[in-house]
């Protein structure tokens, strides 16, 4: 079976964009690949995180993996910081990455813009991201539009290392989904749904109450013609809502368009809210059962052990290939 690795950074409250772009995929892909789903807590600290908040959010993401339907008996679920091989291989791969490559990373430009000081980790973390993937000899990585550049760097670093030291790493392929990979803000369809948006109605969080979800969708921007039609060029706001409906209902866009033909946006937005609520409620219930439980502790400890057993031989092979003394 081919192997897959992916993770969600615990740097804020997860919104439905994280469900559409990641969690929903993970639940499906665990049946098709040998899957490793981790919480990249080391990536979160490239910018300051309140320690207590980081601790809880890390548990929250892991709990959401399970609550959404990832089976810890089928997939390996673990925390990045619990597998030291990530950091060690990250350092080895920094010797292969080029300054110019890292300087061109779009996310670094965006996150550092206007900042008086920027940590060196924010600059080099794409190499740690490459180590995350290459440690497990992953054949495939699910990526959204904003991560394509980082996966290209991973592929370049792997090929550079293999050409210089002999074949050591699998060069991974991307998995790119068409619908739901990039859910946009409810107030502005040109910007990705984000917790940093000051407009609280722009973003639906995974833990929002039914009342809040209904309120946010009722205020979602649309357009003036009243036609529920999927057309990103002419109708981006409505297209975004249709894709959210498709993600949460598991229905084809054509089915949704036909259902609301001639009905206008009022009914469509009300029923969209109910579709999202229906999907989120059992996830929320399971989340609250497990998030601070010993069951989650056990799953994460077992996951770290399994991940280390897979990562260890890759790290050893890389060190040997580079000429480092190993025993």
Active site members: 111, 192, 195
Helix residue ranges per DSSP H, the chain: 16-18, 24-29, 41-44, 51-68, 85-94, 99-103, 106-112, 120-134, 148-165, 210-218, 236-249, 253-259, 265-290, 294-322
Task: Indicate the pairing of strand 76-79 with strand 173-175.
Answer: unpaired
The answer to whether the CB of 186 falls within 8 A of the CB of 202 is yes
C-beta of residue 129 within 8 angstroms of C-beta of residue 150: yes
Task: Round the CA-based radius of gyration of the chain to a whole number and report it.
Answer: 21
Q: How many C-beta atoms surround the C-beta of residue 158 within 10 A?
A: 21
- Considering only the C-alpha atoms of the chain, give the largest distance between any 2 of them, rounded to a whole number of Å: 72
Contacts 24+ apart (CB under 8 A), 301-309: 301/82, 302/72, 303/38, 303/72, 303/76, 303/77, 303/78, 303/79, 304/78, 304/79, 304/82, 304/83, 306/76, 306/78, 307/36, 307/38, 307/76, 307/78, 307/82, 307/83, 307/136, 308/83, 308/85
**Cα–Cα distance for residue pair 313/136, rounded to 1 Å:** 9
- Report the alpha-carbon distance of residue 157 to residue 98 in Å, rounded: 9
SS3 195: coil
Q: Is 30 helix (H, G, I), strand (E, B) or coil?
A: coil
Please state the separation of Cα 276 from the chain's center in Å.
19
Q: Output the CA–CA distances (angstroms, integers) from residue 109 to 49, 103, 112, 120, 128, in the order listed.
A: 20, 8, 5, 13, 18
């Amino acid at each position: 079976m081919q192997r897959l690795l992916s993770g969600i950074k615990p740097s804020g409250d997860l919104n439905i964009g994280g469900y559409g772009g990641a969690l929903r995929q993970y639940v499906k892909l665990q049946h098709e690949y040998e899957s490793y789903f981790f919480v990249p807590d080391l990536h979160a600290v490239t910018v300051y995180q309140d320690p207590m908040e980081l601790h809880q959010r890390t548990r929250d993401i892991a709990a959401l993996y399970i609550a959404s339907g990832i089976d810890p008996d089928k997939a390996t679920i673990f925390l990045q910081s619990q597998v030291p091989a990530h950091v060690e291989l990250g350092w080895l791969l920094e010797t292969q990455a080029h300054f110019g490559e890292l300087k061109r990373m779009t996310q670094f430009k965006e996150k550092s813009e206007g900042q008086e000081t920027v940590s060196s980790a924010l600059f080099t973390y794409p190499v740690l991201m490459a180590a995350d993937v290459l440690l497990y000899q992953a054949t495939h990585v699910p990526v959204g539009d904003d991560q394509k550049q980082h996966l290209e760097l991973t592929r370049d670093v792997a090929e550079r290392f293999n050409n210089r030291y002999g074949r050591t790493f699998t060069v991974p392929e991307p998995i790119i989904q068409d619908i739901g990979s990039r859910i946009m803000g409810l107030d502005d369809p040109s910007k990705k749904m984000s917790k940093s948006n000051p407009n609280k109605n722009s973003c639906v969080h995974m833990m929002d109450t039914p009342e809040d979800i209904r309120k946010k969708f009722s205020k979602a921007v649309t357009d003036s013609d009243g036609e529920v039609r999927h057309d990103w060029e002419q109708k981006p706001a409505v297209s975004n809502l249709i894709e959210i409906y498709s993600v949460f209902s598991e229905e084809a866009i054509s089915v949704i368009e036909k259902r609301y033909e001639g009905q206008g946006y009022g009914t469509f937005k009300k029923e969209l809210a109910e579709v999202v609520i229906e999907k989120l409620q059992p996830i929320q219930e399971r989340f609250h059962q497990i998030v601070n439980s010993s069951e989650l502790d056990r799953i994460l400890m077992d996951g770290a052990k399994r991940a280390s057993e897979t990562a260890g031989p890759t790290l050893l092979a890389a060190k040997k290939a580079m000429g480092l003394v190993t025993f």
